[in-house]
Structure formats: structure tokens, C-alpha cells
Structure 1
Amino acid sequence: MTDWLEEINWNDDGLVPAIAQDHTTGRILMMAWMNRESLRLSVQEGRAIYWSRSRGKLWRKGEESGHVQKLHELRLDCDADVLVLQVEQLGGIACHTGRESCFYRVYRDGAWHTVDAQLKNPDAIYHKAHSHE
């Protein structure tokens, strides 16, 4: 039997883009990167674990904010180079800006417009200077 991780077309850095999608509404919550270890651990632990390129280490979604993503289903696209994680976003906030989704801006009339309200102040979420989880 083939190792399921070897069926993925990892990029030159050993990463694959991972789109987190709400398992009930279908709304796209965020995009992050995964490596073999983060993907294997996500399946093992039943929660989203990403690879933080900026910090160069595993990032268990919610480790600082408490807004964990419970993994319901994992999908791989036809080219085997993009993942979709169907998740339950505990706490309702996926974005480090304090919004439900990282995709809160809409292009209209030559400009980007914020269309989703901030649900919580990032300083209150992270209890420190604003940072990316």
C-alpha cells in the first residue's frame, strides 16, 4: 500500500497549500501551509496543524488564541497539490484580525472594501502585541 502522504505533490519547500473551510456553511476561513509532519499530525489529532513559514515551526491552530479548528474531512484536489480541510472553527474566529474569515475584503469599483465586522479585538485574543498566530 502506498503511503498516503507520498501521493501529494509537495512544492520545492516540501509544503502544500491548505484551505480551511467551514464544514457546515462552506465558507472559506483561511489558507495556510502544511508539510508532511503537520498533515500527519492533523489527521492523528483530529485538528488543524499548519506549518508556519515565518516562524519555521509547527503551528497548532488555536494554540495562542484558543480558536481551534476541529478536522472533519480532508480533501485533495485533482492535481494533488492543494488540500481543503473541512473544519469546525471553535470560537468562531479563524483570522488573526479577529474576524470569522481571513477573506473579509471584496474588490468593488477599483478598491478593496472590508465587508466583515471584527468580532474580537486581536489584542484581546492574543493578550499581547498584535501578531499572526
Structure 2
Amino acid sequence: MLLHSSKYAVKALVYLVANASEEHKLLVKEIAEATDIPKAFLSKLFQQLAAKNYISSTKGRHGGFYLTEAQLKNSVLDIIIEMEGKDRLQECILNLDNCDAENPCAIHELIVDEKTALRERFKNITLAHLKE
């Protein structure tokens, strides 16, 4: 249901939240090795997240990636939407363009409650929650 970019981003952020701080920044190489995510792919994901201020980075000798207190307030749903380019959790699971509440596909009504609940859970999980 989710793209690899979303899964990898969340997986890497779980590691970043647990292991990095403004005083102890992590390099992409470290995160990639620890999470078994291809380094080049993770580098692109982190560039995208940093450009949208979902994570912070500094260059130089003590550079690397970390999260600020404000960034820890972002939800997992925010990250998923950024990675996916849209809110795929509101789309038809069969990828039908004309499926919605007024024109449901064959399984729409069977899963709409679960999809809605999953979306709400992702919305209510902040990056700070990933530390717990």
C-alpha cells in the first residue's frame, strides 16, 4: 500500500529519533548501515526531507542529520504524504480513479473503516512517539 520511499523514510526516522540529537548528529552512511537501507536512496530521501524542514542537517566536521523539538511534532502521516507526493491512504486500494463514497468499488465499503482508522493512527503518531 505504501511506496518503498515511505517505508524507508519512516524506518530511518525511527533510527534517527532514537540515536541522534543536535549534539550527536548522524551521517547517512551510519543510518543506512544500521537500517539496511541503500545509502544512495536514503541520501535522496533525507535531502527531500531536509529541504521541506522535516529533518535538520549540518555540513562539516561534526555534521550530520538530527531532529529539532519542532520537527519531532510532525506526524508519520506528514512524512508518508511527503514521500508519496499525495495522501495514498485516501485513495482506492485497487487504484481506481473513480472510486469514492458516492461511486464505491467492489471492496470500498469493506475496508473504508480500516483505511480511515489507519490514516488517523498515522496522523496521531508524531516523530517524538517513535522514541518511546
TM bracket (short chain): under 0.3
Structure with greater Cα Rg:
2
Q: Which structure's relative contact order is higher, taking Cα pairs within 8 Å and 6+ residues apart?
A: 2
More helix by share: 2
More strand by share: 1
TM value normalised by structure 2 = 0.25
